Structure 1
Amino acid sequence: MASTDIGERDETVSFDDEELILVDEADRELGHLSKAKCHEGSGVLHRAFSLFVFNREGEVLLQQRAAGKRLWSLYWSNSCCSHPRRGEAMEEAIHRRLWQEVGVEAQLTFCYKFRYQAQFGESGAEHELCWVYVGGTDDLPRPNRQEIADWCWISPAKLDAELAARPEAYTPWFKMEWARLRGEFAEQLERYTR
């Protein structure tokens, strides 16, 4: 996959000591813990989000995670994923992070939330109660190179083919989320993919 550089940025927007929101399986807040500790061992359940942003051509924005990422570095994933910080509302967090990481603004619609745990060997794990959103933008990405190694726009059909041919190149949460969006939430996706 190849990207077109529109204007990169290079700023630190994620910190190991930032406090994330611990939750139970019903998404009730239990307290706070540093991002680093949330991802140690098999992970501690915390609140997160995943964003799927589409352009006017109906293509979804994918990113390749930066080489410096502790978990799943250089794997391809959805447009943006991160965590609300302590005291931060989800609506604020999704727009803040999309701008900081990808350099775009988008109208985002909530689809569903789910819990998953994924182990990345000895490096740690994701254990998240993840809120999934879809949306559209007219903006051209300006990736933050601290977070993103590469990016591309891709049609849903081509993405389906890529996932079937090279599933090992993609993050585990992205594969779960995309399958559910393409199935259970196909009608919502049609707004962006026609």
Structure 2
Amino acid sequence: MEELAHDPHAVVSSDEDLLILVNEDDEELGAADKASCHDNNGVLHRAFSILIFNSNGDLLLQKRSSEKRLWGDFWSNSCCSHPRKGETMEYASHRRLWEELGLRAELTFLYKFKYQATFGDAGAEHELCWVYIGVSDDTPSTNAHEISEWRYVSKASLDHELETQPQNFTPWFKLEWEEIHRSHGVTLSEVLTAKR
């Protein structure tokens, strides 16, 4: 993806993007535009979440832009999006990391999970989500249409925030953070150790 220039003011997603529809076994069923995938209670589609840590083990959080249809102004994982029709997960995850944050990192796949969450009358997420972790000490250059703020946070501080202010975070991120530390702590430690 070296040929793609990072433009923090570019529009990098559209309601017309064709997303990949899947069943609960992550088998492809076709495609539908992004808008209809998020209407009403949502249509199950493939997605990914990326959690980027620095070499000290702090997690990069982003606050979603107020322009976002769902969960705007909520804190969430470093980067999340969808592969478009015809894209591999590897390509899409690295593309989006670059578009949203101006970062490149080696990504390690952890697990997949399915969730559904409704955001009032605005629509819903209904995703079969692949979760990745990576390490970078580069300074993010965030896309203004996708991200309003960013910060690094320690595990202890984040655990405290999630306990005392859970309403400030996206539902998928809360599920991911709990599962990573319940079932994938060893892999996380290995990835962090390898980068030190």
Classify the TM-score, shorter chain.
Answer: over 0.9
- Residue 85 of structure 2 is matched in structure 1 by 86
Is this contact kept in 2: 1:67–1:73, CA < 8 A? yes
Residues 166, 192 of structure 1: alpha-carbon distance in 2 compared, 3 angstrom cutoff: farther
Give SS of 1:123's match.
coil
CA distance in 2, matches of 1:108, 1:138: 14
Identity of aligned pairs, percent? Answer: 55
CA deviations over 1:41-93 (Å, ceiling 9, x no partner): 00000000000001111111000000100000000000000000000000000
Confirm whether residue 74 of structure 1 aligns to residue 90 of structure 2: no
Give SS of 1:143's match.
coil
- Residue 3 of structure 2 is matched in structure 1 by none
Q: TM-score, normalised by structure 1?
A: 0.94
Instruction: Give the Å deviation of 1:192.
Output: 4.9
Instruction: Give the Å deviation of 1:138.
Output: 2.6
Could you list the structure 1 runs, at least 4 aligned residues long, displaced by more than 6 angstroms after superposition.
Answer: none
Give unpaired runs (5+ residues) of structure 1: 1-7
Give SS of 1:21's match.
strand
Is this contact kept in 2: 1:40–1:125, CA < 8 A? yes
Is this contact kept in 2: 1:59–1:193, CA < 8 A? no
CA distance in 2, matches of 1:28, 1:191: 30
CA distance in 1, matches of 2:62, 2:103: 13
CA distance in 2, matches of 1:122, 1:116: 18
- Residue 163 of structure 2 is matched in structure 1 by 164
- Residue 172 of structure 2 is matched in structure 1 by 173
Is this contact kept in 1: 2:49–2:129, CA < 8 A? yes
- Residue 151 of structure 2 is matched in structure 1 by 152
CA distance in 1, matches of 2:147, 2:52: 15
Confirm whether residue 38 of structure 1 aligns to residue 37 of structure 2: yes
Is this contact kept in 1: 2:8–2:99, CA < 8 A? no
Give SS of 2:80's match.
strand
Q: CA RMSD in A?
A: 1.3
CA distance in 2, matches of 1:39, 1:11: 23
Is this contact kept in 2: 1:55–1:192, CA < 8 A? no
Give SS of 1:183's match.
helix
Is this contact kept in 2: 1:47–1:83, CA < 8 A? yes
Is this contact kept in 1: 2:40–2:124, CA < 8 A? yes
Instruction: Give the Å deviation of 1:191.
Output: 3.0
CA deviations over 1:150-193 (Å, ceiling 9, x no partner): 00011111111111110000000000000000111111121355
- Residue 186 of structure 1 is matched in structure 2 by 185
CA distance in 1, matches of 2:10, 2:161: 31
CA distance in 2, matches of 1:189, 1:75: 24
